[in-house]
Amino acid sequence: MEKTSCAFLDSLNQSQAELSLDQKREKLPFAIGKTEEGCDVFSGRWFRDELNRPHYEESECPYIQPQLTCQEHGRPDRGYQKWRWQPHGCDLPSFNATLMLESLRGKRMMFVGDSLNRGQYVSMICLLHRLIPEDGKSMETYNNDALTVFRAKDYNATIEFYWAPFLLESNSDNAVVHRISDRIVRKGSINKHGKHWKGVDILVFNTYLWWMTGLDMKILKGSFEDDEKEIIMVSTEDAYRMAMRSLLRWVRKNMDRKKTRVFFTSMSPTHAKSIDWGGEPGENCYNQTSLIEDPDFWSSDCRKSIMKVIGEVFSKSKFPITFLNITQLSSYRKDAHTSIYKKQWNPLTPEQLANPVSYADCVHWCLPGLQDTWNELLFAKLFYP
């Protein structure tokens, strides 16, 4: 399974390379250089870096939501903050916050997707905000919290997050109350959210976790307002393909390839089953402080069939979409999840308190931490494609 899944990503990277050649080597917006030939920044290994990591302290970034502040919530170790990603045979450009902010002058950057994309969004703000004086920045929410906007006033720039876990309209679109097990996605509805993305200069999409119900997906034809709803059942893969095609159509119609950039972040792995990495049965990411050493390790919840859909659909894109392939490098990081060290929305029961594995969050990531690396890779692909 590992090899197959990686092969899909390799073929996706390959098809993107061919796409760029077809585009007569056009210079991508924001590019100031290029990555050295043959360098795959997503293939590499983690190195301990006590001197240069983390990029910032948890306590000095007030924008991190309490679900991700692991130190504040009692995590006893800090080792997860100290790892640097080193690609094989080349170097990742150092994240330059000044360059990033100057490039955003007069522009909008937006992350669109679920809570994992929100984590990457907050990480980006934490990497940049120290350069901006206190009275020169603000953060506000709009549209019932669906849209969060960080403003760098002197730069006339915004970095935004828009909640759309399926990208299409769904019954899980409330940014606060969305814990719905019976999920329904509306066909052909990308403009419901897409109208809020128009005019953005750098778009970063993700969608994966919410499709993983373990069941077929319910697809709504017509409207959520209809009294009699026509709902069809389709496989997760077919539903996901429908969403990806809708996304590509929207991008082609609404983004200007001479001025704007679009990124898509691959699936974020979870570490809910320790048997995946040879651990004791019944354990998960709780109390994990070491990395997975096997270079071919692949989390059992990262579905190769979804990888294949992404590869098939994106290879046909006429608009250059930059794929941020964070899945493999994140798969090694069973140490980096929030686990039990986060704000709990409901009081824990005595049974849960007696068994921390039962409520450990092995989906989301502590900040500072792994998602800062995702943004280093985004930085590399934005300026040195």
pLDDT at residue 121, as a whole number: 98
pLDDT at residue 306, as a whole number: 92
For 147-173, b/e burial (b = at least 16 CB within 10 A) is: bbbbbbeebebbbbbbbbbbbbbbbbb
pTM of structure: 0.94
Q: Give the β-pairing of 321-324 and 261-265.
A: parallel
| CA dihedral of residues 313, 315, 317, 323 (deg, nearest 10) | 90
| CA dihedral of residues 70, 73, 78, 83 (deg, nearest 10) | 0
Q: What is the DSSP string of 355-369?
A: -GGGG-EEEEE-SSS
pLDDT at residue 15, as a whole number: 47
| CA dihedral of residues 343, 349, 351, 357 (deg, nearest 10) | -10
Does the annotation count 317 as an active-site position? no
pLDDT at residue 289, as a whole number: 97
Q: Which of 172, 196, 364, 372 is catalytic?
A: 364
- How many other C-beta atoms can be found within 10 angstroms of the C-beta atom of residue 146? 17
pLDDT at residue 171, as a whole number: 94
In this prediction, the residues of the chain whose per-residue pLDDT falls under 50 are: 1-7, 15, 17-24
pLDDT at residue 214, as a whole number: 87
Q: Which of 114, 201, 361, 372 is catalytic?
A: 361
Distance in angstroms (rounded) separating the CA atoms of residues 321 and 31: 14
Give the chain's length.
385
Q: Give the β-pairing of 184-186 and 217-221.
A: parallel
Q: Which residues on adjacent β-strands are paired with residue 202?
A: 109, 261
- How many other C-beta atoms can be found within 10 angstroms of the C-beta atom of residue 23? 14
pLDDT at residue 16, as a whole number: 52
Does the annotation count 361 as an active-site position? yes
Q: Which of 115, 189, 266, 299 is catalytic?
A: 115
pLDDT at residue 12, as a whole number: 58
Backbone torsions φ then ψ of 234, nearest 5 degrees: -135, 160
CA distances from 286 to 92, 335, 340, 355, 361 (A): 30, 8, 7, 10, 8
Does the annotation count 115 as an active-site position? yes
Sorted by where each starts, the structural domains of the chain and their CATH numbers stand as 31-384 (3.40.50.1110)
pLDDT at residue 344, as a whole number: 94
